[in-house]
Structures are given as structure tokens and as C-alpha cells.
Amino acid sequence: MIDYKRRSEHIKKLYEQQNALDESIAHQMMSSEKIAFATSQWRMMWRKFIRNRIAVIGGIVILLFYLTALLANFVAPYTLKQRMTAYSLLSPQRIYFFAEGRFQPFVYGLKGSRDPKTLMRIYVPDPEKRIPIRFFIQGEPYKLMGLFPASTRLFGVEEGIVSLLGTDGQGRDMFSRIIIGSQISLTIGLVGVALSLIIGAFLGVSSGYFGGWVDNLIQRVIEIVRSFPPIPLWMALTAAIPPHWPPLRVYFTITIILSLIGWTWLARQLRGKVLALREEDFIMAARLAGASDGWIIFRHLIPATLSHIIVISTLAMPAMILAESALSFLGLGLRPPLTSWGVLLKQAQNIQVLLLYPWLMIPGFFVAISILAFNFLGDGLRDAADPYTV
Amino acid sequence: MNENEKYLLKINNLKTYFYTLDGIVRAVDGVSLTLKPGKTMGLVGESGCGKSVTAHSILRLLPLKTSQIKEGEILFRRRNDKEVIDLVKINPQGKLIRSIRGKEIAIIFQEPMTSLSPVYTVGNQIIEAILLHRQIEPQEAREHAIQMLKSVGLGMAESMIDEYPHRLSGGQRQRVMIAMALSCNPSLLIADEPTTALDVTIQAQIIELLKSLQKQFQMAVLMITHNLGVIAEIADEIAVMYLGRIVESGSLKQVFENPLHPYTIGLLKSVPIIGNQTKKRLAPIPGSVPDPLSVIEGCAFRLRCPVYKQKECAGQEGAAMVEVEPEHYVRCLLYDRDEGVRGNEN
Amino acid sequence: MITYIVKRILGMIPTLIIISIITFIIIQLPPGDFVTTAQAEIAASGGGMDASAVEAMRIRYGLDQPMLLQYWRWVSGFPRGDFGYSLEWSAPVWDIIAGRLGWTLLLSGLALVFMWLVSIPIGIYSARHQYSLGDNVFSFLGFLGLSVPDFMLSLMWLVFATMMLGISASGLYSPQMVDAPWSFAKFLNLLNHLWPPVVIMGVVGTAELIRIMRGNLLDILNQQYVTTARSKGLVEKVVVQKYAVRMAINPMISVLGMQIPKMISSSIIVGFVLSIPTVGPIFLRALITQDMYLAGTILLLMTVMLLIGNFLADIALAWVDPRIRFE
């Protein structure tokens, strides 16, 4: 028979000895664990995000888009306004990559003629004449990022024309115009979201943090703004922009108009988050320690909602890009000389034009791809930041 | 006594695994239990030890895609024909298990707030269960539902039956759940932390109710809880579970008066037991439950064990269940050999 | 329930008043007025107007009066169904928009129905077959639907219909049918022209609703009461339909309310591209020519449509969800 009673008594004693020791260790661990937790939270999110392949692809596409927009003048073979009247309404050219078995991209020269039946201008590739595509070629001078004068371009041809996506009615290269137009299309979303964020974060956080009549008033305002359908309201507001305003002013006015509605959504989201956080111990502790409201908001609440802010900003981008292109498409948003994808699409409204020159629709695909990429990215970030809530 | 006559439910070496993105979680890793008809078995352990998974395994309520019963058998004696079936072997969505669920084995859950659908009345949800298992008229079923509500101590049963769950308090909802569970007179009631989410005073009422109903309905109860106070109130027998395994089992008296496993001893030291209050400080068990994904060789408790100093605890198989005194089992190397406590000289 | 409805209606009145004021201010924002625009147009075509004619025109249209008075003139007519006078069309605003409002409502309503009919079954399928091939295909299509702007879809449909199908996709009828008397053939022709805009308007919402339905259902399938239902011994089909799907539909109703502004926006753009007589095209025109009563009334009515839509969605939600009904 085992003497089990002696053994169990022994275990009980061991527990009692251990207690005093453990408590001091536990105290020491608490503080270091907290720091580890804050950093590991971001690392965990990153690990989860990186596993979502489609979100990573979305992120890469977006990076590429913005990089191209940054270096647009270098990437585009032609300037925004460069007219090649001999080649108006040219369809996208076929690029040949290999000549005599080695890598040497070229396009064929073109012979202009007229279709005998429709009398429309057509271009026939001339197989006799190969025009090599040269990289880092000297082209029209420009200012890189608006600062550094330069004239080297990523690629181009010495004679004739290279037009990856065709030309428009005035012989301007669509590829160049789309690349340069991306500067406006992509930044209007960025600036618009940034503005919405400033308004939304400020009002949303104060609404959630202060509660009471502040919350009430802000919620009322949000309710009123949100009771308007967005596109018609945007239309009415942009229609009020005087036609004689300088382009930059129009650009900023439109971003302001877009964020005028965009902020409400951000504010609502943040308010909910802050309402939940307000009851947390660390906010309570800060308040009891006598921290001012501003300190608590900027030192505690905003950092604590940062991951959430990143997610909702990413998810707000598509709506901004979409709204700008829709308004410009309708002729109410940006106007030439400002060029965005929506402005470029304006020439593709007519069915006759579309049937004859379908490549004029291509800017629309760029809108779609950028929105798709943002949706993928935003979705992945949302899952990484918090799998359960918005 | 014939061994087969004794039990209502007998679980042998049950292993239930979950397949997550991060790896396999061995939630239940070799559990054996025996429940006698009409008795109450308390299954105790910290959260995450596999108590609820054991309960869900019995009723085959586990998610089909992410979990699997790898091994073992769950033998259940059916009510009428006295036939014994192995619940592991039957189709988890089939007719057979559906005829057992609710009718012969019923279950109540921890969260009375979320266990009832908010969009149907209480009556709707009870009557549905009755009509499913009994060939009676809806009107009769309604009468029976009212009767059940009365028997769980809900006074205004006639009006309560048409209420929506959100209009009831937590305690009332748990009573409704009990009424629903008992409406078909099951031979086994699984109570999965039935009082955890309730106020202390309500807790006591519900436990009292369960005790009296158990006598009245002559059913066995598998009471799953981390609350030793609840166990002390209601259980005839106790099984202590740690990381997917039973580490000690025996009668209430045996385990409470004479705990053997270091984990059981730690548990009893960390919980204030009503009627046993002293000024002494409560002793928490050091450390925390290890990451469920990790596979611990040997004794799973050794990482937190105050006695652990020996190589054998980390060995391949760990200890086997040893019967230390009649019907009192423990899974610990300290009791496995007849060599006295080693390591206490260090 | 009735007190809830009355409360909601009374609560809408101050909102409506504020909205009408904001609308009026927005419409007045552009520098100049309709007469200025008309003047510019006449000047552009080589004509001219002398100052006294211009002034006479302003007085005739009441444009010389203070803003508050103009607002009052506009608003006070509402109870009589008088929404002011369109300067450009020389007709009462209501006569111009009544028919178009009907088409807008019809298209938006059909698009909402389309969204529900498509998204709920797909959402259920996707949730019950999570991560299956079908689920992945649907979620990819959903992303695509979320991302392709409605004007692009309309343009693509125009090109596709004309080039591949050889039919004219714009307008409500084919050219040869426009003046034909009503017949079954004409009705079919109308239907053939109605479904594409309905689908295009519904695509974005459908994609969103599928995701929400899928997410809700996945969430609810893990709820305790679903396990309770299963533990009663119910057949899986009943568990899913009575306990899970029924609950998942509740939030879909409020989401549907949130889709209404998108429907209204979309009806403008799709109407514009596909030449469908929604209020969209004339709204655009009215904004450009500063035909303020027309533009203002359209903006206001669209906002009212939204309010009523949300109101109906709330009522429907209260009707299906006892937790809200008893508040």
C-alpha cells in the first residue's frame, strides 16, 4: 500500500513555500510583459497580414501605382499635351520584343491612309520599317516630381511613335496621359482621406470621449450630412465651383468637397472604438492620475485606435477615387487642363466614339484596378487588425 | 455486480483534436469517464482544459470541418431497450444521434443570455423540442411546456411562455433552458458551466433547482465547472481534468478530503470554499495553462508542478491512472511507484 | 409599434426642414443665377441682351428678391405639390420630374430586389461552404463587383451589346419601338432595356450584401443558440434555416437601407450613360444651367427618398426583430 497521505501533505507544503517567491516574480514580469505586448501586437498583425496573399498583392499593386505616379513624367514617353497630329486616334500598337532572336523591342512604322469605304483615317503597320524602342532616351524636358529638371525618359522612340494604349483625337498618347493622370486620381483619394481623417478623427474621438451634449451635437450633424445621397450632393457642390478658378484651387476644393461627406463614416467608426476604450483601465488610470483631456486623447486614445484608423482609411480610399472619377466623368469635377482618369474618360461617353475607338475606355480599367487593389489591401488589413469588427 | 449493468455512460480513452491554421489542438487527449445512472459527476478544470469539448463530443456537437474524434469510444445505454451504443461511431448529423439529442441526453450551457434565439418566443423554442420527440398535439405540448416552466420555478408560466428571451433575466433564462432540456425527460443532463454567468445568489438557486430536479426526474448529471464550490454542492463523484486528460477521480469525499494530484491540491488551495473561510491568503497555482498547440511529452502538469524534479515526469508516456484507494484514481508518478516521494531531499 | 412609427415620423420633420434649407443654400452657391447663364449662352451664340431685359427677367422669376423670401416661396408650395418653376424648361418642376421620378424609383426598387434575391442565397452558400471553390469564386467576383465603377459597367455593356449582340442598349426602347403603340412586343422590348441598368445598379450592393450575409451567417452559426437548437435534435436544415438564416437576415434589412443612397447615386450615373429617363440627366443639366428650383427639388426629393427608404427599413427591422419592437 502506498503511503499516499504523506505524499499529498508534502505537495501541500511545497505549494505554500512557493507562494511568497512567485508573487515577487510576478510583479517583475508584469512591467516587462506590457512592453513586449505593445510591440508584439504590431508584429502579430504583420504576420497575419503577410499570410493573406491576395492582400499582399493588392498592397504591391498600390505601391507600384504610387511609385509610377511619383515618377510619372519619367515613365511616360510623352508629355501631357504633346500632340502628334499625324497619329490621332491611333489604336494601341503591337510591341515586338525579339528581333533576330535577341531581345530588342520594336514597333513597326505606320503608313497613314484612308479606309476606302468609310473614309476614316486608318494606320497600316509597315513591316519594312522597324522602329526600335530605346530605354533611357532623351525626350521632351520635364521636371521630375515637379522639382528636378530632366529630359531622360524610361523609354521612347527616335522616330515615328510608340503608343502602348493608343492616342486620342488630338494625337496625344493615352499611355502617357493615363500615367500622368494617375497623379491626380491617386492623390485626390489620399488627400481626401487625410482631410476626412483629420475632421473625422477629431470629431469622432471627441464625440466618443466627451459624450454628453458634444456627442449629441456631433451625432446630429453627422445624421444631417448622411441624410443626403452622396453623389447628388457632390454634384451640386462641385457644380458651384466657378469655371474661372485656377486648376490648383479647383483640385483642392474638390478634395474638400469629397471629404465633407467622407468624414462622417470615419467619425462614426472612431466614436464606437473610443466609447469602448473609454471604459478601459488604462484610460481610467490616466484620468485619475490627473492627465488632461488633450493628453489622454493624443497620448492614449489615438495610439490605441491607430490600427483601426489605418484600416478604415484604406477602406475609405476606393470611395474617394470612385467619386472623383464619376464626377469628372459627368463633367462636374476636375476640368482640363487638370487631367485625371475621370477627365480622360469623359471623351468616352458617346457610344459612337466607344465603338470606333474602344481604347479610350482604358482609363476606366485603371480606376477599377486601383479600387480592386485598395479593397484587397483594406480587407487584409482589417482581418489582420481585428478579425471580428469592421 | 456485473460491470455492464452499472454505467449509463462510459467514455474510454477519448481523443478529440481540433485542426486550426496554426496546428493541431489536442483538446481532449485520452479521457475516460464512467457515469452511473441517477448520479452526478462533476468534471472540474481550468478553462481550456477540454471539459466542454468532452461534453460536445458526447452529443457530437463539435464543428464537423475543424474537429475530429481521433480515438476512443463513448458508450451510452439507451433508455428503453437497454441497448448500448457507441456515440463515436454514429453519423454526427444522422437520425440516430438526433433521436438521442434532447430526448435522452440534454445539455444546458454557460451563457443563458445567448443560448436562446432572440427572435422566437420561449414557448416556441420549448414546444419545438417537445413536438420533435413526442407524438402529441401542439396544444398538449404547450400544456406540457407550461408545466415544465412551473416545475423549474417560473411562477408566471402561462404568460412567460409567450415572452421573448430578451425580456427575461439571466436566471429566468437559465431556468427556461433547464425546462427545455428536461422537457423530454432525458436520462442524462450535461450542464456545461450552467451557473458561471449568473449572480452568486442566482447561482445557488439554480444549483438547488438542479439538485431537486435530478431527484424528481431520476437522471444522471454531468456537471462541468471550474467552480469547486458548485461541485461540493451537487456532485457525487469528481473527475479533475488538466490539458485534455483526467488527472484524478473519485468520490466527492475522497477528492475533497484527500486530494492526491498536485493539480487537485493546487485547485483546492486556490478556491475559497463556502463554509471553509479563513483569513488565509488564497494560493494561486503558479504559471498558466500552456499554449494549446504545444505537445507536452509526459505529464502535462509538470511545468507548473511544485514537486516536479524528476526525469520520469518528462518521459514519453507519463503516468498511468493508479487506483490509490477503492474508486479513487490519480494520474501522477508520485503515486505510481512504491518508492516514496523523490526529490523532497533536494 | 404604432407609437414607434409616429415617433419616427415626427422625428423626421426637423431633419426635413434643415435639409431643405441646406439644399436651398447649396443650390444658391454658384456665383450668378439662371439669368446670368442664359445671358452667357445667348452671348455665346452671338446674340445680346440689354440690361433692362435682363432686369425684367430677374423680376419676372423673382430672382431679385432676398434669399429668405425666395426660399419661402419655394418651400411654401410643397404642400400643394408646387415645387417651383423650371426656368429652362418653362414648365412647373413637378411636371418635368414626375415621370422621371417614377423611372428612378422603379429602377432603384428593382435593383434592391435584385440585390436581395442574388445576395442572400449566395451568402448562405458561401457561409456554409466556407473556403470552398465556390466560396472563393463568389468572393473574388464580389471584389470585382465592388471595384468596377458603375459608369464603366454601363460603358462596357453599351459596347458589348452593340458589338457582340448587335442591339442598341441605350434608352428604354429600341429606336424602332419608341413611337410604336403599346403591345406585348414593346413591353418585352422595354424589359430588355430595363434589366441591364437594374443589374448594373445592383452589382456593387450585391457584392457588399453577399459579404455581409456570409459574415453574419458564419458568426451566427457559431452562436450558442444554434448549438442549443442542434442539441434539441433538430435536423440540420431546420437549424440553419430557422435559427441561423432567420437571424442573419435582420441586419441585412438595415444594410439594405444603407444601400439606398448608393442606388440613388447609381441611378443618376447609369441613367446618364444608358440614356434612361431617370432624374439623373436633367439634374446634371439643371446644375449646369443653374436652373435652381429644378436642381434643388431633385436634390431634395432624392434626400426624401433616402429618408423614407431608411424609415421603411427601420420599420421592417422592428417588425422582424422583437428586441427592437419592444424597445
User: Of B262, B281, B286, which has the smallest distance from its Cβ to A11's Cβ?
Assistant: B262
With CA atoms as reference, the chain B residue closest to C233 would be B98
CA distances from C146 to A193, A383, B189, C325 (A): 19, 18, 49, 33
Residue B132 contacts C, CB cutoff 8 Å:
yes
Nearest-CA neighbor of A131 among A165, A95, A164, A100?
A: A95
User: Could you tell me the strand order of the sheet in which B105-108 lies?
Assistant: B105-108, B188-192, B220-225, B40-44, B237-242, B245-251, B328-330, B322-325
A294-340 pLDDT tens trace: 777 777 777 777 878 888 888 888 888 988 999 999 888 888 788 88
Q: Which residues contact B193 (CB under 8 A, 6 or more apart)?
A: B52, B109, B110, B224, B225, B226
- How far does B98 lie from chain C, in Å, by closest CA? 4
- Rounded Cα–Cα distance for residues C92 and C73 (Å): 14
- Give the burial class of A258: count Cβ atoms within 10 A of its Cβ; 0-12 exposed, 13-18 middle, 19 or more buried: buried
- Residue A93's pLDDT is what? 79
- How far does A193 lie from chain B, in Å, by closest CA? 35
pLDDT at A61 over 90: yes
pLDDT at A361 over 50: yes
- Rounded Cα–Cα distance for residues B76 and B105 (Å): 10
Rounded to an integer, the average pLDDT of A259-286 is 79
Nearest-CA neighbor of A358 among A345, A376, A339, A371?
A: A345
Residue C264 contacts B, CB cutoff 8 Å:
no
Q: How would residue B280 be classed by pLDDT, with cut points 50, 70 and 90?
A: low
Rounded to an integer, the average pLDDT of B245-253 is 90
Rounded to an integer, the average pLDDT of B226-237 is 87
**Is this complex's ipTM strictly greater than 0.90?**
no
Rounded to an integer, the average pLDDT of A254-268 is 86
Residues A10 and B272 sit within 8 Å (Cβ to Cβ): no
CB contact under 8 A, C233 and B103: yes
- Residue A142's pLDDT is what? 79
- Rounded Cα–Cα distance for residues A210 and A293 (Å): 9
At the top level of CATH, which class does the domain A177-384 belong to?
mainly alpha
Domain coordinates in residue numbering, chain A: 87-165, 177-384
- Residue A40's pLDDT is what? 66
- Give the burial class of A88: count Cβ atoms within 10 A of its Cβ; 0-12 exposed, 13-18 middle, 19 or more buried: middle
Per the model's pLDDT, the better-predicted residue between A57 and A281 turns out to be: A57
CB contact under 8 A, C146 and A361: no
Residues of chain B positioned with their CB less than 8 A from the CB of A14: 306-307
Residue C227 contacts B, CB cutoff 8 Å:
yes
C141 backbone dihedrals φ, ψ, rounded to 5°: -60, -35
Per the model's pLDDT, the better-predicted residue between A35 and B73 turns out to be: B73
Nearest-CA neighbor of B307 among A10, A20, A2?
A: A10
- Rounded Cα–Cα distance for residues B73 and B13 (Å): 7
Rounded to an integer, the average pLDDT of A35-40 is 54
Subunits with 3+ C-beta pairs closer than 8 A to C: A, B
Buried-exposed string C23-39: b where 16+ CB fall within 10 A, e elsewhere: bbebbeebeebbbebbb
Residue type, B214: Q
Cis? peptide before C251, omega within 30° of 0 = no
- How far does C118 lie from chain B, in Å, by closest CA? 24
| Predicted model pTM | 0.82
CB contact under 8 A, C159 and A367: no
- Residue B345's pLDDT is what? 37
With CA atoms as reference, the chain C residue closest to A352 would be C159
Rounded to an integer, the average pLDDT of A21-49 is 58
What percentage of chain B has pLDDT greater than the value 70?
A: 85
End-to-end alpha-carbon separation of chain C, Å? 9
With CA atoms as reference, the chain B residue closest to C131 would be B65
Residue C159 contacts A, CB cutoff 8 Å:
yes
- Residue C315's pLDDT is what? 86
B165-220 pLDDT tens trace: 888 888 889 889 999 998 988 999 999 888 887 888 888 888 888 888 888 888 99
- Residue B5's pLDDT is what? 57
Beta bridge partners of residue A96, listed in sequence order = A106
Lookup: cell for B320: 498511468
pLDDT at B221 over 90: yes
Mean residue pLDDT of chain B comes to 82
- Rounded Cα–Cα distance for residues A176 and A164 (Å): 9
pLDDT at B21 over 80: no
Rounded to 5°, angle at Cα B272 from B269 and B277: 110
With CA atoms as reference, the chain C residue closest to B100 would be C233
Residue C240 contacts B, CB cutoff 8 Å:
no
- Residue B112's pLDDT is what? 80
Q: How would residue B342 be classed by pLDDT, with cut points 50, 70 and 90?
A: very low
Q: Which residues contact C290 (CB under 8 A, 6 or more apart)?
A: C30, C32, C33, C34, C36, C37
**Most confident among A7-16, A65-74, C25-34 (mean pLDDT):** A65-74
Rounded to an integer, the average pLDDT of A127-136 is 79
Ranges of residues in chain C with a pLDDT under 70 are 32, 34, 37, 41, 44-51, 57, 60-64, 326-327
Nearest-CA neighbor of B76 among B15, B28, B16, B12?
A: B12
Rounded to an integer, the average pLDDT of B309-314 is 66
Q: Give SS3 for B43.
A: strand
- Compute CA C80 distance to the chain's CA centroid, rounded to the nearest angstrom: 25
Residues of chain B positioned with their CB less than 8 A from the CB of C321: 118-119
Q: How would residue A265 be classed by pLDDT, with cut points 50, 70 and 90?
A: confident
pLDDT at A36 over 60: no
Residues A136 and A123 sit within 8 Å (Cβ to Cβ): no
pLDDT at A2 over 50: yes
CA distances from A291 to A207, A297, A299, A306 (A): 19, 10, 10, 20
B71-91 pLDDT tens trace: 899 999 888 767 888 988 888
Per the model's pLDDT, the better-predicted residue between B335 and A21 turns out to be: B335
Per the model's pLDDT, the better-predicted residue between A389 and A83 turns out to be: A83
Residue C184 contacts B, CB cutoff 8 Å:
no
CB contact under 8 A, A354 and C155: yes
A111-126 pLDDT tens trace: 777 777 776 777 777 7
CA distances from C60 to B246, C76, C181, C289, C296 (A): 94, 19, 41, 18, 19
Residues of chain C positioned with their CB less than 8 A from the CB of B97: 233
pLDDT at A389 over 50: no
- Residue C111's pLDDT is what? 92
- Residue A387's pLDDT is what? 47
CB contact under 8 A, C322 and B118: yes
- Residue A24's pLDDT is what? 47
What percentage of chain A has pLDDT greater than the value 70?
A: 91
Residue C218 contacts B, CB cutoff 8 Å:
no
- Residue B303's pLDDT is what? 73
- Residue A290's pLDDT is what? 74
Buried-exposed string A315-337: b where 16+ CB fall within 10 A, e elsewhere: bbbbbbbbbbbbbbbbbbbbbee
CB contact under 8 A, C247 and B119: yes
What percentage of chain B has pLDDT greater than the value 90?
A: 22
pLDDT at B316 over 70: no
B92-129 pLDDT tens trace: 888 899 999 999 999 998 888 888 988 899 999 999 99
Residues of chain A positioned with their CB less than 8 A from the CB of C283: 232, 235
Mean residue pLDDT of chain C comes to 84
Per the model's pLDDT, the better-predicted residue between A190 and C28 turns out to be: A190
Residue C182 contacts B, CB cutoff 8 Å:
no
Q: How would residue B337 be classed by pLDDT, with cut points 50, 70 and 90?
A: low
Residues C126 and C138 sit within 8 Å (Cβ to Cβ): yes
- Residue A283's pLDDT is what? 74
pLDDT at B10 over 60: yes
- How far does B9 lie from chain A, in Å, by closest CA? 30
- How far does B127 lie from chain C, in Å, by closest CA? 11
Nearest-CA neighbor of A222 among A182, A262, A256, A258?
A: A262
- Residue C125's pLDDT is what? 92
- Domains in chain C: ranges and CATH: 98-320 (1.10.3720.10)
Residue B335 contacts A, CB cutoff 8 Å:
yes
Q: How would residue A62 be classed by pLDDT, with cut points 50, 70 and 90?
A: very high
